Structure 1
Amino acid sequence: MPFTLATWNINSVRLRAALVAKLLHDEAPDVLCLQECKSPVDKMPLADFAALGYSHVVARGQKGYNGVAILSKLPIEDVGDRDFAALGHARHVAARLENGVTIHNFYVPAGGDIPDREKNIKFGQKLDYLTEMRDWFHVERPEKSILVGDLNIAPREDDVWNHKQLLKVVSHTPVEVAQLAETQDAGGWVDITRQDIPDGNLYSWWSYRSKDWDAADKGRRLDHVWATPDISNAGHSSRVLRAVRGWEQPSDHAPVLATFDL
């Protein structure tokens, strides 16, 4: 059974509920994974999404910060969450579809502005978070799973607008890229987006600081769709909905989609 999955850092699900509804109406993915919901679960506008057919929800919320949610037209089972790096943050949740596929929705810490864990505790927390993800995948190697979310790292040179200029900028530093690669390798995860779109610049985030983000196009690919090797060949039709970044009062992230024939 084919299903389409989307991942989107919404940057406040309550503030941008209308944008979520528009995406669900226009694109109709079977599953939508949201990050940075910035809301307790009981305050999320879930009734609005249920009215559009997304009555199945697995979520973890937090007032004003973080928060992850999986909205689905298909039945899903809550299979838990993990508090990586013991931050006490709502940054991970997992759900299982009836076909046995487990979906992990992640919001990796951004890491602050200074790429030095001695000078910036947030950067250390980011690296620790990725280390614990890596170690978990080593111990409990995932199978028949999809991992999506805002991983806050653009790993490839063509995942950023200027590789050399961003080597010392958090999200593209060599230490972060190496840490993400170790995490990916530990689970055998396949980057579905780049499996489908192997060449060329590709971004999913553009800063609010740019007066004309579209013309400047100083983007980074921070949002990812991975799958375990046993189902990676079923993934296809990957795309980034760049136009969504230009909607009124948008998130600074654009949704990333992929379809799986499973």
Structure 2
Amino acid sequence: MARLKIASWNINSVRARIGIVERFLIEHAPDVLCLQETKVINGDFPHEMFERLGYVHRYLNGQRMHHGVAVISRIPLVEDRRHDWQDNGEARHIGVRLADTGVLLENVYVPAGGDIPDPILNPKFGQKLAYYDRMTDWSAKLRDPTIIVGDMNVAPLPSDVWNHKALLDVVSHTPIEVEKMERLMASHGWVDLGRKFIEAPARLYTWWSYRAKDWAASDRGRRLDHIWASPDLAATATSFAVAEGARSWERPSDHVPIIAEFDL
């Protein structure tokens, strides 16, 4: 039996926050770290710290100043499974296969969708909905045991946001976005590990806006980050956790890491 610990984190610039990434790796020691919004081209990725800590396997899909995803691992990885779901060159998906188990690991950064939840008035919102549709078509064809992680930019449940009624018309919690996420989940029978281990209606947030003077006191959070697994693989999951304290670290991301463990 192989134990596997996977973390996912929208880091909001890996170079600007390399210090807290190092702190997280030392304190939590995941086998694999999936980053979103790295905001760096592959050639400028900060390899040294990861190499020094033994994370010698790295698959990158970078972009200058925007987007970007990376899978960083101390266990062997194979395959480079990137997708451009919008066909516009944005670096939002990188997938790999874990060499020892054959499990697929897909790391995604779904577009935020702008501020207006109307695809006519706000084309970015329409692009987000189309992104979900294309991922759903892809997901329905998956046959291998798969873990999908990342910033999905949707908080689906009422207890995934600080105020369900207040946010029904706010992008990330609108009914149409929730419907799109539910269709994606149904396409492969994905199991939401966050809610497998922290059952609704318990509070579960992964993001707090920079606008709050005191994020912890106001606690106006949303659960935008997710780890899902194929049904058979989900049965091997042993834990799920949110590293909420990282929101108070020096120069934090507005997201915090999430962590799932498996006995494969």
Matched, 1:154 2:161: no
* 1:64 alignment counterpart: 65
Match of 2:104 among 102, 105, 125: 102
**Structure 1 Cα separation of the partners of residues 231 and 159 of structure 2:** 24
Residue in 2 that maps onto 1:3: 4
After TM superposition, the score normalised by the length of structure 1 is 0.98
Report the 3-state secondary structure (helix = DSSP H, G, I; strand = E; otherwise coil) of the residue aligned with 2:166. coil
Does residue 236 (structure 1) correspond to residue 205 (structure 2)? The answer is no
SS in structure 2 opposite 1:168?
A: coil
Structure 1 runs, 4 residues or longer, greater than 6 Å off: none
Query: Quick check: 1:192–1:236 contact (8 Å CA) kept in 2?
Result: no
Whole-Å separation in 1 of the counterparts to 2:22 and 2:179? 37
> Does residue 1:207 correspond to 2:179, yes or no?
no
Map 1:1-262 to 2 at 5 A: 1-98=2-99, 99-138=101-140, 140-199=141-200, 200-262=202-264
Deviation, 1:6, is 0.3
Equivalent-residue separation in structure 2 for 1:161 and 1:142 (angstroms)? 36
Distance in 1 of aligned mates of 2:139 and 2:204: 27
- C-alpha displacement of 1:149: 0.1
SS of corresponding position for 1:165: helix
Report the CA distance shift for 1:227/1:13 in structure 2 as closer, same or farther (over 3 A).
same
Q: Percent identity?
A: 50
Letter in 2 for 1:41: N
| CA drift at 1:62 | 0.3
Question: Structure 1 residue 119: deviation in Å?
Answer: 0.6
**TM-score normalised to structure 2 length:** 0.97
Take 2:82 and 2:66, find their aligned partners in 1: how far apart are those partners? 17
Residue-by-residue CA offset, 1:219-241 (whole Å, 9 max, x unaligned): 00000000001211111210101
| Equivalenced residues, count | 261
Cα displacement string for residues 138-169 of structure 1 (whole angstroms, at most 9, x for unaligned residues): 2x224211000000000001000000000000
SS in structure 2 opposite 1:94?
Answer: strand
Instruction: Give the gaps of 5 or more residues in structure 1.
Output: none
